[in-house]
Structure formats: structure tokens, C-alpha cells
A and B are shown apart, each in its own frame.
Chain A
Amino acid sequence: MTDDRNGYPGNGNGGAAGGAAKNRLAEIAAGAVFPTETHPELDRETVVLDVQGFNLFYGAKQALYDIRMKIPKGKVTALVGPSGCGKSTLLRSVNRINDLLSTVRISGDMLLNGDSIYGHGVDVIELRKRMGMVFQKPNPFPMSVYENVVYALRIDGERDRSTLDEVCERSLRGAALWDEVKDRLHESALGMSGGQQQRLCIARAIAAEPEVLLMDEPCSALDPIATNKIEDLIEQLKGEYSILIVTHNMQQASRTSDYTAFMYLGRLLEYGPTATIFQTPHLRETLDYVTGRFG
């Protein structure tokens, strides 16, 4: 059993014994930290977001363990893993929304296009303006549909009506919502259905044209048609935008993403091209998870 660990990394390619896999998971549960199995394809990509040995604690409880991860520019990266493994936490750390919780402590740093995110003297507000985020639960603001979409522009002081109108329409079209709300742009956003609200939040996130788009299970509240539309949107955004998306839906991950990262109990276990991760991952645990054998 120990020699299986010696063979790490590389040859776990479906060949590892079931017992060994269980053992690794058990060791992680007991507190062990393994280096991430990062596939070499990632070295050829330009990096937009570079996570460098990031740890996060909720009070005394550690939620992220030494995350090292380079998010490629213009690509879609999916974060998968069992519930409670820290996907949302990682996502919320990228735009420092977790700062709002007084119990959170962190160590390590991340770089956004080379600029430190957690360094001294970083302007957090400026930083957040460079990212967009879609939350797990829809959170429209208590204002009209229109004002929701152009919120980021409003707080930047944009007043030009034609610019706002144009951004609003483009973003709503992008989020596959335009046709449904074009006649009620000035009604309260709180009167929409849950799925519409979620697409509104997506429109709001893309309105500011962020460098990185963070999406936390954006489709969990959507019907299959809207889900398709969102996946189409992700397809279109690819190239211009770098997207980090959390999903529990393996089909969605394999359909939409270029790279997939597998997280388990706060650790990043394996990170590589989506096709490889879903068909021939290096780690037994990854295969077990993506094929639905645990998690």
C-alpha cells in the first residue's frame, strides 16, 4: 500500500488498486496533504489567475489546504468535487468576498494578471471591479431589472443613457433573458421567477465585462432550456472571458469546460484538460468521482 503512494504521481492511471484509493481518501480525511496532480497541458496556457499556496480558515476550521492552481486565460475551468469540499470557498476567495466574514483567516496569495490579490495595500474595490460573480443562489437587488443589470456601471458613475441601454440589452441577450423581460425592464426584479432572477444575475455579472467570471453553480436553479442557453452563453464568452465555474453536473462540466479541477475536503487533487479528467485521469479517486462511484 505504501509503495502505491511512492508511485505517485503519474501511474495512478486507472491502474491503482481500489484499496489504495480508499486509503488516500482516508489519509486526507485524517489530515494529510498531497501535492496536486497538475497535467502538463496547463503549462502551455497563458495564466489569468494564479493561486499560490492558498490556505483558508473559518475560525479554527481549515477549509482550503495549500491550493496551487493556474487558471488559463480565455478558457473555461470547471471546479468539481463533493459537497462541502470548498469549491464555493475558493471561488469567494478569488474576489475577496470572504473578507466580509470576520472569522475568515487566510495565508498565501493569488495573482490576477500578475497583480497580487491579497498583498498589502491592494484596493479591494478596484480588484472586484475586474471580476464578475454569479452566486449559488440568485441575489437580485431590490430595484428594477434595468438598474440591476447596469448596477456595476452605475456605481462607476456612468450616466450616458445610450451606453447603459446598450449594455443592458447586450447583457440580457447574453443571459438569454432579453425576450422575457424586454417589456418590463423598469419593473422590480424581485417579481421574477427564481430562474429568471439567476439569469439576471448572470447578465449583471457580464455587464461590467470582467477579466474573470466566477460562477458558482449558475444553473442549479434553472430548467433544462435555460441551462442550455447559459451553456451556449459560456461557449460564446469563451476566448474573450476567462471563466471559473463550479458545477455538480458532470455532463455540464464535460460539455462546457476546457479544464477541470477536482477538489476533495479542501484539497485540490487533480487538475487537467477536461477530456483527460473525465476519461483517463491520473488519480483513481478522480475517476471514481467523475464516474459517480463516490461523492
Chain B
Amino acid sequence: MSADPVKPAPFARTRTRARTSLFAAGEPMVWLTGGGLVVAICMIVGLLGLILAQGVGTLWPQPVVEVRLASGARLMGEITRTETYRTGDGRTARRRLFRTGNFELTNEHFTWVNDADVAEESRPEWAMVFERMSWGRFYGRPKSLTVEGTVTADAPAAVWAGFARVHASVSDRREVRERLETEEIGEVNRRIEEARLAVRRAELRDGRDSPAHAAARAHVDAIQAETKAEFDRLRAEIAALNGHNAKFSIRVVTADGRETDLALADIVRAYPANRLSDGARWSLYASRWREFLLDEPREANSEGGVFPAIFGTVVMTLIMSVFVVPFGVMAALYLREYAKAGPVVSAVRISINNLAGVPSIVFGVFGLGFFCYVVGASLDELLFAAKLPNPTYGKGGILWAALTLALMTLPVVIVATEEALSAVPNSMREGSFACGAGKWQTIRRIVLPRAMPGIMTGMILAMARGAGEVAPLMLVGAVKLAPELPIDGILPYVHPERSFMHLGFHIYDLGFQSQNSEAAKPMVFTTTLLLILVIFVLNVLAVQLRTRLRRKFVSAVF
């Protein structure tokens, strides 16, 4: 027995330990994952940086440069771009793009100037920039100022001082006139239109030449007689304001010596670009931003503000969220909490995921075909028959756009909600059932609150995707220029049938549809910056909400 070879004890430590390998420690993985993050950050920072750099500078007032070319021609303007190119004999040369304006005189907004052609370059002290309601910018030296029909100043400094004094009152008159034109005359027109619709309704309901029809027609005549006086009064008022403003003008000399009178009422903003102090420059910059954010666009959208587009984007995104979140949550609840797992549920889930991969333009086509032409047209027939053949809901509008995007972002919300629901521990559900709660009570009191942060994540993703989407909107209601906002002070205050402006579409329009594309290009960046800001703000709000919910309903404790 004792001679037996020594057997190893069952738990003898015989294993030799390998040295920790590089891969086990994961050092390379740290670098790999970190590298991935760096690439992602570089792309994001690069894109944002480009947009920021281009977008922020657009509205900054540039100096005005005057050049005399070798040919003897003179021109004046702001330098917008500089590039080098290869001349015919192989040397590199530089050229600059001048924004020369004065479109009505030169038929051009921009001019390329080769450095080789420049004989003389200067920054004239009294070169002034005029931003106008139409025709774009004007560059020139002030010569004289006419106030109330009489020439009051004829030296540049005096003209500029006089201009600064009277311009505000002229602008006020112009604004009063615009308000009269849009609001007051619009109101009168609405009354007439309303009466006409009543005639049409009576005709549809009671037949032509019925007593109701005759009464409605009589009513139209009465209204027309009544409003005639109103029209005349408004027209006279407008004519008076225009007449008054016509007595204010400024005479300007261009670089090549031509003289023109600019009506003060036509001038939005004017400044002697080369005489500005730093403070004046900043306040000009601020005033341009204010205009950009709060005003309506001018000049085929390449000038003025984008307020209607901001408003349209925000309202459309909010309406979309109002539709997509409840529907998505309900669908996900059924899939996750009620449906029995099986081939049908799997098929549904796969279809939903596939829906996320459908190109957005397809949703646009669907929205146009279904919402506008089927649902909208039926609504028109039911409720707005009197207005036909003019469509009310049977065309693109903010409601249909929101619904189309809601459909498009539905998969995002469903998938995120399903994830959130499946992350709710089963033990919580069991605890609730054990307390005698029913299925719905458990969902409402335990599952939904606990899943709420995840649902919010879905909403954030959907909002970001929806707010930045352009292609489908072109088909279902986003327009280049919407005369009215979807929410305003006219009954019933909310007009879901109206077409609207959208920042994303605005960017597309500026970049690719604008006649004055050089002037529009910088605005593309500024508008993009704004769109990103709007999405960012919407997201921050949603994230804030989510954090609050998360603090309340989910917290990890061990």
C-alpha cells in the first residue's frame, strides 16, 4: 500500500498560470474604442465647427472696398470670397468676389475681380451700404437728402446724420401701411369671402333661387356696399402714407459716377461701413440677428428673417410629437405587454423595423396620396364643400406634414418604447400582480412610469429626426414662402390646413432654388446653424424632462 505511487490530491494546484496577455488586459481595446470615439467626435466637431464658423460670420458687417481696374472701370462692394486659380500660362493668381449690388443699374449682384487687373484699391470713408426691401443691396456715396420734399443736406456727414434722424419715422409709416394692407384689408376681404361662401352653401343646401339662396345673395350685396366705404377709407389712408413717404429720398453716387435716388421707405438699413466704431458694428450685428430671428424673409428668402420657418418647424415638430408618442407607445404596449409571442408578433416587429429603413420621400408620397388627396379631399367634401374646387384640407398643410412625419418616426418611438418596457424588471410586475392589481393597473402605475425615461428617449430621437427632415415635407405642405403662420390671432387661431415654412426646406430652397445663389449661400449656413439650435433646444427640453422622470422612477441601488 505504502509503495503506491503518490496520487495527486484532488485539488492539487498543478495549473501554471499564464501571464496576463495584452489582450486580456484589454489595453488595445481601450485604444480601439477610444479611437472610434475620437473619429466620431472629430466628424461632429468638424461639421458643427464649419457651420458655426460660416454661420456666425454671415451677418457681421464687412468693410466696403473700392477698386479702380486697369481698364479704368471703378467698382465698390464687400469682399465675400477669395480664391486662387491657375492662369493660362500656368501661374497661380488670386481673385476676389465682390458683392457690388446695385442690381437695377448693373444687372449683377456679384463681380469677380482679378488681382492682376486692380490698379488702385481704397476704403472710401463715406462708402455706404443700403439694405433694401427689394433689388438687394446698394453701395454708393451719399450726395443729398430730401426730407418732406426739400433738399436738406448735401454733404455726406450731414446726409448720414439727417438720414439717421428721419429713417425711423419713415419706417414706421411703412409698417403702418403694411399692416393696413395685410390685416385690415385682409379682414374686409375675409368678410366678403365669408358672405360669398354662405351663398354657395345656401345654393348647395337649398338649391339655386331658393329663398335662403336669395337671402344670402342679398346679404353679399349688403356686405359689398358696406365694405366699399371701408375699402375706400383704407385705400386713401395707404395712399396718404405712401405719398408722405415718397417725399423722403436719398441721392447716392455709385463708384462709377452714376447718381440714383433711393426712396427712404425702401431702405431697411443703411450704414457707412468704413466709419463704423466697434460698438456700432456690434449693434449692427445684433440688429441683423434680431431681424433674422424675428422678421419675415425678403428678396426670395435670401434676405430678411426666417421667423416663419422657425415657427413652422417648432409647431410642426410639436404636433408630430403629439401624434407619434401616444400611438407609438400604445403600439409598443400591445406588442410587449399583451400580444402573445409568436410568428405574427415577430412579423409585425420586423415590419416596423423595416419601416424605419424606408426612404423618407416615400413617406412624403404616401402622405400626399393618403392624407392630402384621400383624407383631406373627403374632409373638404364633408365640411368645406362651399369652397370647392379650392381645396382646404385637400392639399399640403402643417397637419398633414406632421402626420406624415409622425408615421415616419413611428418605428423609432415603438422600438425605443419596446426596449424601455422590456427593461422593466418582471419582478416589479409580479409584485404588482401579487398585490391584486390588474393588468392595466400594473401597466399604468408601475410599467409606464418606470419606462417613461426610455419612452422620452424615443421621443427625443423622433423629434430630432422629424425636425431635420426635408424631403417628405416638400410634398405635403412646406413651401418657399407662406403668407400666414399656422397659428395666429384670427379665429379659430389654429389653422392646421395651412401650408408652412420649415427651416430644413428653407435651407434647401436657399441653397438650390435661389436666383441670387451667391447671396443665399452664407444664409444657408446661418439657417443650418439655426435649425441645429432649434433641434438642440427641443432636445435639451426633452432631456431635462427625462432626467426629472428618471430621478423619480429609476435609480440603481445595490
Contact = CB atoms under 8 A, between A and B. Distances in A.
29 contacts: A100-B426, A100-B430, A102-B340, A125-B438, A128-B433, A128-B434, A131-B434, A132-B434, A132-B435, A139-B428, A141-B431, A141-B445, A141-B446, A142-B428, A143-B553, A151-B432, A151-B435, A151-B437, A151-B445, A152-B435, A152-B437, A188-B551, A188-B555, A190-B555, A191-B555, A191-B557, A204-B435, A208-B435, A208-B436
A86 to B, nearest CB: 17
A125 B442 CA distance: 12
A204 B432 CA distance: 10
Contacts of B438: 125, 155
B427 interface: yes
B429 interface: yes
A94 to B, nearest CB: 10
Given A125-B438, A141-B446, A194 B558 contact: yes
Interface string B530-558: 00000000000000000000011111011
B90 interface: no
A143 B432 CA distance: 12
For the complex of A and B, list the 3 residue pairs with the smallest distance between their C-beta atoms, beginning with the closest.
Answer: A129-B436, A139-B427, A142-B553
A135 B557 contact: no
Contacts of A140: 431
Given A102-B340, A135-B427, A188-B552, A141 B557 contact: no
Given A190-B555, A190-B557, A141 B432 contact: yes
B10 interface: no
A137 interface: yes
Contacts of B437: 125, 151-152, 155
A239 B456 CA distance: 49
Nearest to B340: A102
Q: Looking at chain B, what size class is its interface with the partner chain?
A: 20 to 34
A155 B436 contact: yes
A190 B554 contact: yes
A128 B427 contact: no
Interface in A112-159: 125-126, 128-129, 131-133, 135, 137, 139-143, 151-152, 154-156
Nearest to A124: B433
A2 interface: no
Contacts of B431: 133, 135, 139-141, 201, 204
Nearest to A143: B449
Nearest to A151: B435
A208 B427 CA distance: 19
B450 A142 contact: yes
A66 to B, nearest CB: 25
Nearest to A187: B552
Contacts of A204: 431, 435
Contacts of A139: 425, 427-428, 430-431
Interface string B59-91: 000000000000000000000000000000000
B134 interface: no
A139 B437 CA distance: 15
Interface string A82-117: 000000000000010100101000000000000000
A275 interface: no
Interface string B432-459: 1111111001000110011000000000
A26 interface: no
Interface string B502-543: 000000000000000000000000000000000000000000
